[in-house]
Amino acid sequence: MKNFLLLMALFPLVAVSQFNPAPAPKQSKSILIMNAHAHLGNGESVENAVVAFEKGIITLVADARTVRLDLTKFDTVIQASGMHLYPGFIASNSTLGLHEIDAVRAFNDVAETGTFKPSVRSAIAYNTDSEIIPTVRSNGVLLGQITPRGGVISGMSSVMQFDAWNWEDALIREDDGIHLNWPQVYHRHYDKGKIAIEKVKSYDQQLTEIRLFFEEARAYAKSKMDVTEVRYEALRGIFQGLKTLYVHADDVKAISEALRFKREMQIKHMVIVGGYDSWMVAEDLKRDSVGVMLRRVHDLPMLTGDDIDMTFKLPYILYKSGVLFCLQNEGDMERMGTRNLPFFAGTAVAHGLPYEEAVKSLTLNAAKMLGVDKQLGSIEVGKDATLFLSKGDALDMQSNDVVHAFINGRALTLTDKHKALYERYKNK
Amino acid sequence: MRIIICFFLVCHHLWMSAQPTFPYNGVLPKDVNAYAFIHANIQADPSTLLTDATLVIEKGRVLAVGKDVSIPANAVVFDLQGAYIYPSFIELHSDYGMPKAPSARREWGRPQMESSRKGAFGWNDAIRPEQDAALIFSPSPELATEWRAMGFGAVLTHIQDGIVRGTSALVSLGEDRNESLLIPQVGAHYSFNKGSSTQDYPSSLMGSIALLRQTYYDADWYKKGGQKEEQNLSLQKMNEIQKYPAFFDVQDKWNLFRADKVGDEFGVRYIIRGTGMEYQRIEDVKKSNVSLIIPLQFPQAFDVSDPLLARWIEFSEMKHWEMAPSNPLLLSKAGIPFALTASGLEDKKDFLKNLRKSIERGWSKSEALAALTTVPASMIKTEQMLGQIKQGFIANFFISSEEIFSSNSIIYENWVSGKRFEVNAKEKKTLSAGSYRLNVGSDVFDIKLEQGERPKNTAILVQGDTLRFSVKVSEELNFLQLILTPDSASSRLGVLRFSGVKNTTDWTGQFVRRNGDVESAVFSIIKENKEEKKSDKKETTPETLGSIVYPFTAYGWEKRPEQRTVHFKNATVWTNEKEGIIDSAEVIISGGKIVAVGKNLNASAYKNVEIVDAKGKHLTAGIIDEHSHIALASVNEGSQASSAEVKEGSVVWPEDIDIYRQLSGGVVAAQLLHGSANPIGGQSALIKMRWGANADEMLISNADGFIKFALGENVKQSNWGDFNTTRFPQTRMGVEQVYYDHFIRALEYGEQLKNPKKLVRKDLELDALLEILNKKRFITCHSYVQSEINMLMHVGDSLGFRVNTFTHILEGYKIADQMKAHGAGGSSFSDWWAYKMEVKDAIPHNGALMARKGITVAFNSDDAEMARRLNQEAAKAVKYGGMSPEEALKFVTLNPAKLLHLDDRMGSIKVGKDADIVLWSGDPLSVYSKVEQTYVDGICYFDRQQDFQMRKWMEQERARLAQKMLQAKELGLPVIQPVYRAPKHFHCDTMDQSSVGQFYREK
């Protein structure tokens, strides 16, 4: 009861409204979370943990049985016995906030027109007022890499947090990388009633164009120019090792060629997005320190003869081979489906992935690939207090019940349109 | 050293005779002679080979055939020297001499509701019974040459355009229009392909089926008096063509059964032009009792040299490559009557090659001949004039060097109606390698000739010294030239020349010396090196072939699984009955039913009981997907506001891999729904996931009928682009009118039917609506927004029908009380929203809220991926809205069974119900649980262990076939690029490929 009252004090139930809740104010207090089963995101877990943070930074992570604490030193104490604590889940390669209602074109800010458009930035189109975002937070997904799509080079993504007034304060890492859609090695074409697979005739040419574009940009980056070539300028960070090149590719040949491209162009940071075939070149990926943002777990196998559980098993297969990977959700109904990311991890566990590795695939692994792991991705002292408490196991839909969520220590109001409508009609 | 001479010097135009009524420009030639072919091996009919026999023909007919045949005095005699004569082949499926059918082309995007033809024909441009091949037939010399080269003499030709294609004509492969036409109207032809019609309807296979059925009914009505109400030339013709044998061009393996069904309904036994894949369902073909026309279309091997590319090839494509040549053998083993067709071959030269391939597989030669001669002849009732070499028959035959099945066999000539057409000039070898002598006065040149491209021919003259020459030989018709060039030692003699004409055994002519002296000379044979005839009989070990799998695709069964008696012990059983969830309980299934549930059960009454220790595992009723579009060949017939006449049951596609994948997620049954493109959609198919069964066996027998309705953005075409603004309705207001209008029409139709004296046109569309009013068919309505849901319930209440189920029903939570009052159930998505404007208020708590108001709630998939984890979707009802796990599981088991009126036999674990059960590794609602076994009717269709073995087997089988394909490539056989048949995934508003509209993948 005391707990309950405490909660009430912390999070006054806002009047049920169809508006998104206001972003939480900056956290100035010290907060202690006691006795939760903490999944740290780095592959470890503490069954009975104490985790504290102050001014938004984690100050303590320990086994409750091994430390003695003076509770009076904390402004707020959350009794979380029986609950599970996780770092905020990260939606990599996401278009959340770039589109709202699929069928309505006016909402669509996902793909700019054009082919090579590295300077296009998703951050500024990210709509903090999207009604989808609060529904996603309600399941523990607190951060995302907001990614433009389309063309050969889609543009630049940014890492954003999901409780903000506008895109500026949502930014965690602005323009973290450039997204390159590797040309299709094979394409299917309709031929006498059948779909024939053949090497795309213009594949080599497309590759040459990409290579030339990068060569030009690299030459530009080395010299000091009076004029600014906006597109090449955008790629400068790639050659300086400050930005990541995200290569979207599923086919094994495309992935192999992308790795070659990395070596050839001396690109420091590369990540494969999609990677259905990535397990076939696991050793090469490790050699080149390239991680994989794995294609949707809840997807069908690509070929009829494939293992029926192929997509369910891929996380486990990559884990076994030691490739750095995280989960993501690109595909049909991806924005509204973002709230199901935790359950992708759950399904991966059913198919062999150890539980803490599954948590890692939504947290620290993603943070590493996004280059924000110093600050985010795990519950460790010194990192941002971006984490959430679920009454039960958050990877299982039966028990995922997020009751507290913090972004940089700020205590989120976890209402959303769906909860509001539920409340409104519950007693009709 | 071969020269080519004409075997016969007679040219066919010498025989050209004019037709009686035609004027002739010149001196009138007359057909006065007979032709006798002697010393021939004559295949008089498929089982009679007359050796060293004689054939006499006169005036285009066979006069006599046999061993002791007297040759008439007016006969021109040809000595065939042991060559073979066969009755010419008969082709039944061709468009020979027909103009090319125009391709369907019209302004992009705009709907076309009405016919664009001139003339008082029927309403739909795909129904063309008035097409008459004879009226537009015009011989094509080039094509005729191709056909004759394959051994054909007569072809049945029709306009291959439309669903009803009119009549065919039997023509011979001559070159004169009038002479070639043997019989002007022979067969009536049908297909499911609307061809060049640019009209929207039908836009799907099931629409084609419905249209054809309705046309038969309309024709009957027209005959019985309908013509008093309507002039309709198409229906008039439709009736007229019923007297001819009916041919159906199915173009798809499963269409064979679909066509056969239509035939059964109207008492028509179609002769079906098949696909060459009949062996894949041979038992079903046998049962359908059809006769067939089978193509010899064999796929080429795939180029599998790049393994990364080769993995894209469908398992079934690889297997078909291997099995295709065995199709005729397997059909004939099964006793299915069939003719062969050369149609469908890209290169007509492959026809005889492929025929021989099929013979190599063990098919009998006489049956092959029959399939090309007597069988097609009798299919078109011409067995008394064609297909044999018999007195009085049309003189259609061809002459080949050897038995036609021998790979060395060459067709020399093809005689069509007694007229000769040369196919391959006979290669006549005059000089073989050997020793020859040239006598010039007292000089004797000993000449040795060699074979080969650059023969070293030599000559020696002994004139005191031995003088040597090299020899060049050239032959032209019956003339021979030799040029003798001396080597350096004998160069004084100069270059010598001989030119001679052939006598019986030697050549006589002139010899020209260096100084121009001419002497007579004789060139004679001393000894010919007899060329060893290549033996045709290769000692080949019979080819090893893989097994046929059911269904013929990945994860097909080599041996279909059978019903089992299983005793599950120590399981946590979710009964879905008042017993609730029972721990460490037992279940016995036998004979396809659940026979015992409880504790300490005794299975001794059953034989062959398998015991499954399910300790730590959970047993539930199988999952039923209330809203699915898998296993279908078409989903939407959205071209009209109502398509109540179309049936998903007519287009079930049992080879969809998603059936197997969904079994792996515990799905045992589904409602396959029509799409949501129109307010009144088509009739549903209720299936069980009987992987390996045929389409009919998939259907749940004795199930109630269902039909899809739809509301909102899809039916008013809101998201179909700017062109689709014509079809009624375009607003929700119009949707209501569609319902009122159609149901009022159905009511009136029902009234008319009550009067037995009245001639009422049978209307398949109104029949379906009448069934709804008579509570024989039940509505599943695609719906989102509360206003329109209320509207439909009002329409139903006022006209006396109930909406059985609202599907999607994402705003159901807003009007659950009204739904309850109306008596509707709700089948929803767990958490989909925001994909269209009309789902902006969808919430995941919807299911729980509706359930709390007492509505029967199901969660469905409408998605091939989600369907294999509907247990997870059910678990979301626990998360959103707080359903108990037991009730949540019912969302995907018992409740959909109730909504589909199947709960008397499915949906719970109860004695007497179907043994459709799932064994889970743990709590079925847990994300961590997997299906271990899925049973349908007591047959285990999915077993995780077995799945693993199947995959291994499939890998081995692929590897074996890849090896075989690599060998084929090594042997220089043509190979083609890997082909991938993309799996189809339908959603509610996926439009068929055949429709002119765009593709949509929204829900």
Residue B584 structure tokens: 């460490």
> Which residue range is the domain that position A330 belongs to?
91-376
What is the per-residue pLDDT for B467?
Answer: 86
Specify the pLDDT at position A18. 57
In this prediction, residue A233 has a pLDDT band, given cuts at 50, 70 and 90, of: very high
pLDDT over 60 (residue B62): yes
| Residue at A419 is within a domain | no
Of B840, B865, B876, the CB nearest to A298: B865
Q: pLDDT tens-digit profile of B269-306?
A: 999 999 999 999 999 999 999 999 999 999 999 999 98
Residue type, B872: Q
Q: How confident is the model at residue B4 (pLDDT cuts 50, 70, 90)?
A: very low
Number of domains making up chain A: 2
Domain match, A100 and A200 both: yes
- Given a cut of 80, is residue B98 above it in pLDDT? yes
CB contacts, 8 Å: B554 with chain A: 304-305
Identify the band that residue A195 occupies on the pLDDT scale cut at 50, 70 and 90: low
Tell me what ipTM this predicted complex has. Answer: 0.95
**Residues A252 and A342 occupy one common structural domain:** yes
| pLDDT at A197 exceeding the cut of 90 | no
Domain boundary among B376, B395, B422: B422
Q: Which residues of A touch B865 (CB under 8 A)?
A: 298-300
- Residue A77 sits in the same domain as residue A105: no
Is A55 within a domain?
A: yes
Our measurement of the distance from residue B389's CA atom to the centroid of its chain's CA atoms, rounded to an integer in Å, reads 33
B849 vs A132, A349, A425: nearest CB: A425
Same domain, B244 and B292: yes
Burial of A2 (0-12, 13-18, 19+ CB in 10 A): exposed
Spatial distance between the Cα atoms of B737 and B18, rounded to a whole number of angstroms: 67
Decide the pairing of beta strands B680-683 and B705-710: antiparallel
Both A272 and A293 in one domain: the answer is yes
Same domain? For B673 and B768 the reply is yes
CATH code (residue A81): 2.30.40.10
Question: Does residue B456 form part of some domain?
Answer: yes
Asked whether residue B990 is assigned to any structural domain, the reply reads no
Same domain, A286 and A240: yes
Tell me phi and psi for residue B868, to 5 degrees: -85, 5
B212 and B200 both lie in a single domain: yes
Question: Confidence band (pLDDT; 50, 70, 90) for B972?
Answer: confident
> In this complex, do B834 and A350 lie within 8 Å of one another by their Cβ atoms?
no
Choice among A196-210, A316-330, B176-190, B592-606 with the minimum mean pLDDT: A196-210
Q: Are B614 and B518 within one domain?
A: no
Phi-psi group of B8: left, alpha or beta (phi > 0 → left; psi -120 to 50 → alpha; rest → beta): beta
User: With 90 as the cut, is the pLDDT of residue B127 above it?
Assistant: yes
| Residue B654 · residue B555 · CB < 8 Å | no
Answer yes or no: is pLDDT of B388 > 70. yes
Alpha-carbon span B174 to B419, nearest angstrom: 8
Residue B293 placed within a domain: yes
For residue B190, the distance in angstroms to the closest alpha carbon of chain A comes to: 20
Question: How far is residue B913's CA from residue B911's CA, in Å, rounded to a whole number?
Answer: 6
pLDDT value for B532: 55
pLDDT of residue A1: 40
d(CA B573, CA B909): 8
Testing the interface with A: which of B843, B871, B920, B932 to mutate, by most A Cβ within 10 A?
Answer: B843
Does residue A99 sit in the same domain as residue A181?
yes
Q: Which tens digit of pLDDT belongs to each residue from A3-56?
A: 444 444 444 444 445 579 999 999 999 999 999 999 999 999 999 999 999 999
Q: What is the pLDDT of residue B980?
A: 57
What pLDDT sits at residue A8?
A: 43
Interchain proximity A303–B311, CB inside 8 Å: yes
β-strands B518-528, B434-440 pairing? antiparallel
Quick check: B527 pLDDT over 90?
A: no
Per the CB < 8 A criterion, the answer to whether B942 and B274 are in contact is no
What are the tens digits of pLDDT across the range A356-394? 999 999 999 999 999 999 999 999 999 999 999 999 999
The reply to whether A4 falls in a domain is no
| Contact predicate B128/B234, CB 8 Å | yes
- B554 contacts A347? CB cut-off 8 A: no
Whether residues A165 and A227 share a domain: the answer is yes
Residues B604 and B675 in one domain: no
Domain that holds residue B267: 89-99+120-422
How many CB atoms within 10 Å of residue A190?
10
- Write the CATH number for A367: 3.20.20.140
Residue A129 and residue A261 in one domain: yes
Structure tokens at B12: 């066919």
B397 with B441, same domain: the answer is: no
Helix (H, G, I), strand (E, B) or coil at B585: strand
- For residue B792, CA distances in Å to B710, B768, B805 come to 10, 18, 12
Say whether A422 and B869 touch across the interface (CB within 8 A).
Answer: no
Does residue A426 lie within any of the structural domains?
no
pLDDT tens digits, B543-586: 889 999 999 999 999 999 999 999 999 999 999 999 999 999 99
| Distance, C-alpha B915 to centroid of its chain | 35
Q: In this structure, are B578 and B649 located in the same domain?
A: no
By C-alpha distance, the chain B residue nearest A418 is B843
pLDDT of B953 strictly over 50: yes
Which of B401-410, B458-467, B634-643, B818-827 is least confident?
B458-467
pLDDT of res. A376 = 98
Is the domain of B513 the same as that of B598? no
Instruction: Tell me whether residues B979 and A195 touch, CB distance under 8 A.
Output: yes
Evaluate whether residue B261 is within a structural domain.
yes
* Same-domain status, A59 and A201: no
B312, B873, B889, B934: best to mutate for the A interface, most A CBs within 10 A: B312
pLDDT tens, residue by residue, B172-230: 999 888 999 999 999 999 999 999 999 999 999 999 999 999 999 999 999 999 999 99
**DSSP alpha helices (H): ranges in A252-384?**
252-265, 282-287, 310-321, 341-350, 355-360, 364-370
Chain A residue numbers touching B845 (CB-CB < 8 A): 418, 421-422
B298 and B149 belong to one structural domain: yes
Query: Where residue B934 sits, what CATH number does that domain have?
Result: 2.30.40.10
Shared domain for A133 and A243, answered yes or no, is yes
Q: Is residue B953 part of a domain?
A: no
Question: Do A209 and A327 reside in the same domain of the chain?
Answer: yes
pLDDT tens digit string along B929-952?
A: 999 999 999 999 999 999 999 999
Same domain, B472 and B363: no
Does residue B619 have a pLDDT over 70?
yes
Q: Which of B513, B528, B543 finishes a domain?
A: B528
**A3 within domain boundaries:** no
pLDDT digits (tens, 9 = 90+) for B481-502: 899 888 887 778 889 899 999 8
B836, B928, B980: residue with CB nearest A396:
B928
The answer to whether residue A418 neighbours chain B at the CB level (below 8 Å) is: yes
DSSP string covering A302-326, please?
SSTTS-TTHHHHHHHHHHHHT--EE
Q: Please tell me whether residues A111 and A235 are part of one structural domain.
A: yes
Q: Would residue B929 count as lying in a domain?
A: yes
Considering the domain architecture, whether residues B830 and B879 belong to the same structural domain is answered as yes
CATH classification at residue B346: 3.20.20.140
Say if residue B240 is in the same domain as residue B333.
Answer: yes
Structural domains counted in chain B: 4
